[in-house]
Amino acid sequence: MNSAELLPYALLGSERRAPSHETLQQATAGLIGSAGRPENTAELLLTAASVATSAERAARRLSAFTADPLDEALAETRPVCTGVIASRLDQVLESERAGVRREFFTLLDAAGMRVPHDRVPAVLNVLRGDAEIRTAAGGSLGRRAEWLARLNPGWNFVHASAETLDEAAWETGARAARERYLELLRDREPPRARTLLQEAWPRESADVRASLLEVLRVRLSADDEPFLESLLQDRARSVREVAATLLALAPSGTFAARMRSLLQPLVVFVPKKGFLGSPQLTVELPVEYSAEMRLAGIESKPDAAHKEFGERSWLLIQLLRWVPPSVWSQEYRLKPADLLRLAEKTDHAATLRAGWGHAARLHRDPLWCEALLDSIPFGTPHYMETLSCVPRTVHEELIWQRLNAPLNADRVSEVCLLARALSPPWSAPITRSMLQWARSAVERIQPCRVVWELPHWGSAMDPFADPRIETGWPEKALELPASRNAIEKFVETVRFRREMIEEFRR
């Protein structure tokens, strides 16, 4: 029976007009599985009509219900969380505070518990849009999440620990899905992922090649180097850049050693001579764009970000950027700060700082990044990236210095920028000092600039650091509706986190 035959019965009702129950069972036997077939005639009629109508609207021909039964999910290895924490999870899922969500799942994973089965779909829908929360969740989703991920392509990020991967995502998926598939495969079978990329290489556009190549960062090894070396001559500059970056990061250090050999006659340390002498650096710019440089993927012309440098300075910057900066410290037995002081005495100080800065950020060298930080304009992208590599104590000290400095508009902006970059959770001392400073700044200068940051601070501060965290806000800020609302949300977030942490501690 089709929808045209079933709809009149459904509209009039089974009591007034309807085929017999047996007729409906026969008509729907091939469309509805026996487990889902209602015994009541009225329900069976409505079910049959809805199935037939949906199929016709989708331009699909109805076929027999022949789906194979699904494999059972693997047995869970973690206990389900308590009812109290499950209720807190419901509140977290309804919240718009991304920082609170990350903290909840970090606590849940650390406690060795998992999400209740009936909450897993809702959790997966939240996690699909936030990679940081997915990382924080760890194994707290449980085996049921892996099972469900096989049924919904939108949840395929869970497959990192699943039994199988869907190759259709690589063959026909969008770029994001293909990158994700390659990343997961790379984690499990590095050679197979590299081979798959090589096979698809000729068919891909330049931007796709560059983004897919980034996946080789996962479990990068010496086996990848021949492929990466071949890409140093790729027609796309973006691809050459990624290939050189990965070669510089390769654990073998072969590429970095080649760059160091090219630098040997250009950057030379001259030790102290005699009692009154002092050590120095001698720096020479490359005379020409050599064949060795070209084969190493060195670009002859500066890119847009380095247009203030001449071509020869640009060659030196590139050679420096691919050598781990620790090489210079170890070779010359000098601290980064000492080498930078020597660099300032040369005619090419800016070139050395630029090259060493790129290398320090690429290799995330905390000592070099700390030494370089003061030479980079505050708040610029390079400053913030360098800041992310320094030890936490150094980052906090930068905040302390500004908290204790005279209060003005520039100082407020600097504190807010540094605080936003400080990863949570904050220590109790920095929390108390920031609260005291914030109340003063709100009262004396720029209340709006400070209260804009309160939502982030509420997710980062130690919620137990100050029992009076809800009080002491000046009337000036509370008089403004926007400021008052921001402070109230801040207080609500801190209270929520305090209660949540206490629940996990029980």
**65-80 pLDDT tens trace:** 455 667 788 889 999 9
The whole-number pLDDT of residue 162 equals 37
Residues 6 or more apart whose CB falls under 8 angstroms from that of 440 comprise: 407
Given a contact cutoff of 8 angstroms between Cβ atoms, the answer to whether 402 and 411 are in contact is yes
Max Cα–Cα distance, the chain, nearest Å: 114
Dist CA 365 CA 369 (whole Å): 6
Pick from 27-41, 184-198, 347-361, 388-402: least confident: 27-41
**98-110 pLDDT tens trace:** 889 999 999 999 9
pLDDT band at 386 (very low <50, low <70, confident <90, very high): very high
H-only helix segments in 306-391: 311-321, 326-332, 336-344, 349-362, 366-373, 381-387
The larger pLDDT score, comparing residue 55 to residue 363, is at 363
Strand-pairing partners, residue 281, are: 269
**426-445 pLDDT tens trace:** 999 999 999 999 888 887 76
Strand-pairing partners, residue 325, are: none
Dist CA 21 CA 45 (whole Å): 9
Pick from 7-21, 303-317, 364-378: least confident: 7-21
The helix (run of H) or strand (run of E) holding residue 281 is strand 280-283
Distance from the Cα of residue 479 to its chain's centroid: 38
Pick from 83-97, 297-311, 473-487: least confident: 473-487
pLDDT band at 163 (very low <50, low <70, confident <90, very high): very low
| Mean pLDDT (the chain, rounded) | 86
The whole-number pLDDT of residue 495 equals 92
- Smallest CA-to-CA distance from 88 within 375, 465, 506 is with 506
pLDDT higher than 60, residue 450: yes
Residues 6 or more apart whose CB falls under 8 angstroms from that of 385 comprise: 361
pLDDT band at 138 (very low <50, low <70, confident <90, very high): confident
pLDDT higher than 90, residue 353: yes
Mean pLDDT of 374-388: 95
- Smallest CA-to-CA distance from 438 within 423, 449, 426, 422 is with 449
pLDDT band at 115 (very low <50, low <70, confident <90, very high): very high
* % residues pLDDT > 90 (the chain): 57
Given a contact cutoff of 8 angstroms between Cβ atoms, the answer to whether 430 and 395 are in contact is no
The larger pLDDT score, comparing residue 354 to residue 66, is at 354
